[in-house]
Amino acid sequence: MDTKEALYTFGTGENFHIQHYFGLHKEVQDGQEGYIFRVWAPNAEEVHVIGDFSSWKDAPVKMTKNEAGVWEVFTSLPKEGQLYKYLVKRQGGQVVEKMDPVALYLEDRPGTGAYVKTIAEKKWKDSLWMGRRKRFGFKQRPVNIYEVHAGSWKRTDSGQPYTFAQLKDELIPYLVKMNYTHVEFMPIMAHPLGMSWGYQLMGYFAFEHSYGTPEEFQDFVEACHLNNIGVIVDWVPGHFTQNDDALAYFDGTPTYEYQDHHRAHNYRWGALNFDLGKTQVQSFLISSALFWIEQYHIDGIRVDAVSNMLYRDYDDGPWSPNQFGGNRNIEGYNFLRRLNGIIKYRHPDVMMVAEESTASTPITRSIDQDGLGFDYKWNMGWMNDILKFYEEDPVYRQYDFNLVTFSFMYAFDENFILPFSHDEVVHGKKSMMHKMWGDRYNQFAGLRNLYTYQICHPGKKLLFMGSEFGQFLEWKYDHQLEWGNLDEADGLNLKMQDFTSYLNQFYKDNKALWLMDDSYEGLEIIDADNTAQSVLSFIRKNDKGDMLVCVFNMTPVERREFTIGVPLAGIYEEVLNTEMEEHGGVWKEHNPQTRTQSGLWKDYQNTLTFTLPALGASIWKIKRRLKNKK
């Protein structure tokens, strides 16, 4: 695309690689090597480039504006590795220093200078992974995600976050050991304040400096792929930081944000909302998403705060109805459909995930069926219900049993991911282990039960770091995980970690848990009405007729001679019991292999009788089928 076409399509919202035009680029003009700088600031009175090469403000390099409001200049002064910014004289005369909106790499916080930097084209070695991804996709594959905040998984002795070079050496072997299929990172784009966890961005193309270099992240993704692990990143196209040296009111007028003051300001989060109807903003954001997919080979994007882009009244501040009198953010709705349409056309094997908490809009329905076209939606309702239930004293669970069964009524209304995310282990909500009822032993028993229920319930899976070994303290963004928990004398954290690894492998090994994950063909409820004993039983199936019988005892009462109905006669074996001693429980041996008995139980002609562990889950598989007795 030549510069004229790049500029034109940026204005029409059809330039999806604006980083090839904007920012800085090496060029030779009139036989002289140098860099050309371009920045969009249509209403600025003046723009200069300043940096190490100009003694900053002492000798600013003047830029000129073209007919589309883009300022540019060619200069031979900069050298690779130097820092630069834009000095913008805003409409009205105020002069501010601004970061480059399409910078690839910024200096460490709190600075916002961008490096004069080109990322060398990488010779990727992950072609086998990329080929398999294109061939098999992810819908009928196991997806079990380990959610990570890169700045606090582990820290150095001096308290600095690990870089991705260090994470490559330590996190990837851990992911392999724990048998996860994917890792998902909270935003790794440049952000001015660690306290935001990355959700108030300033650099939509810039890699966060405190996490290392762009090249190190490329190497990390490649190493993940070589170890059969997919990489997902969080991305925030709805709102951005209101810091004055970033995108906010770039030229003194609403540039990236809405013209309307209330629509521009996100009062709940202290941020600014993108004007998603502005064509230049669409070019900017879609280019950002494609940049991370193509530059870093990532396997998925989780779009944060989708509700904020869909509803004009989602925020806490004043709002006005749309032209039809409703609360729909029409620009946001259309942008999300366009975003997914473009990405799925170019990269159909990349996973698009929505973090969205309402039920008013079909999120994962296809675009041609009036949906948004996402592949998955976080199931926030399931997460809220199930955590409320497991936090409850078992004495009262019989009265709230619908909290664990209601999700079966809508399990396939959308394509869901079942998340136990970072949001559930902060701000006084307590860690996953600390949420559980009872003493320390029962808390771990409840946690094993809960994670097994998540693995067996239809939907892809996500668990936030530290939860896999039952960290007791809440997550802190500026501290590493409580790895010392694994040295506790009773060994329960270590056994919890081993159990999670075992459970994750069990999930991968059993196609019944993921092959038909999006329809009732893969699910059969045995009994969701046993509220008195608080026992839930159901079957997961694959396309070959293989099945797992999953039984969950939600009370700390062992139930001997417990009977359920099953559809097939046979000899069954218990393949998972959460109360085995090696997992942290007290059982030394599994239930023995058990032959079904002929007899009517609800609509079933066969029954299976066994001992159901207290506060435990028991999963059974047919070892040998027998003929049903007439």
What sign for the dihedral angle of Cα 492, 498, 504, 509?
Answer: negative
Instruction: Supply the pLDDT for residue 118.
Output: 87
Q: Cα(137)–Cα(130) distance, rounded to whole angstroms? A: 10
**Residues sharing a CB contact under 8 Å with residue 65, sequence separation 6 or more, in sequence order:** 41, 44, 47, 71
pTM: 0.96
Q: Cα(585)–Cα(492) distance, rounded to whole angstroms? A: 9
Q: Beta strand 230-235 with 300-303: parallel, antiparallel or unpaired?
A: parallel
Residue ranges making up the domain that contains 547: 520-625
- Count helices and strands in the chain by DSSP H and E runs: 13, 31
Q: Cα(126)–Cα(543) distance, rounded to whole angstroms? A: 31
Q: Cα(522)–Cα(235) distance, rounded to whole angstroms? A: 32
- 572 assigned to some structural domain: yes
Question: Which run of H or of E encompasses 24?
Answer: strand 23-29
Tell me which residue of 287, 286, 148 sits closest to 211, measured CA to CA. 148
Residue showing tokens 């004398």: 489
Residue that is last in its domain, among 52, 86, 115: 115
Q: How far is CA 479 from CA 148, 475, 577, in A?
A: 13, 8, 34
Q: Cα(38)–Cα(465) distance, rounded to whole angstroms? A: 41
What domain count does the chain have?
2
Residue that is last in its domain, among 98, 115, 132: 115
- 281 assigned to some structural domain: no
Residue that is last in its domain, among 115, 149, 178: 115
Instruction: Supply the pLDDT for residue 239.
Output: 97
Ordered alpha helix ranges (H), 137-274: 164-178, 214-226, 261-264
Question: Which run of H or of E encompasses 230?
Answer: strand 230-235
The domain spanning residue 78 has which CATH number?
Answer: 2.60.40.10
- 74 assigned to some structural domain: yes
- 234 assigned to some structural domain: no
Q: What is the mean pLDDT of each run of 10 residues along the chain (630 residues)?
A: 91 97 95 96 97 96 96 96 97 96 95 93 97 94 98 95 98 98 98 93 97 97 98 98 96 97 95 98 98 98 97 92 95 98 97 93 95 97 97 97 96 97 95 96 98 98 98 96 96 98 98 94 97 98 95 97 97 98 97 96 96 98 84
Q: Cα(588)–Cα(500) distance, rounded to whole angstroms? A: 19
Question: Which run of H or of E encompasses 294?
Answer: helix 279-296
Question: Which run of H or of E encompasses 420?
Answer: strand 416-420
3 state DSSP class of 458: coil
- pLDDT-above-90 percentage for the chain: 97
- 77 assigned to some structural domain: yes
| Residues 332, 19, 344, 136, Cα dihedral to 10° | -140
Instruction: Supply the pLDDT for residue 629.
Output: 65
- 545 assigned to some structural domain: yes
- 108 assigned to some structural domain: yes
- 100 assigned to some structural domain: yes
Instruction: Supply the pLDDT for residue 630.
Output: 56
Q: Cα(305)–Cα(253) distance, rounded to whole angstroms? A: 25
Tell me which residue of 300, 350, 255, 292 sits closest to 104, measured CA to CA. 292
Hey, which residues are catalytic here?
A: 304, 355
Q: What does the buried/exposed string (b/e) look like for 201-223 if buried means 16 or more CB atoms within 10 Å of the residue's CB?
A: bbbbbbbbbbbbbbebbbbbbbb
The domain spanning residue 562 has which CATH number?
Answer: 2.60.40.1180
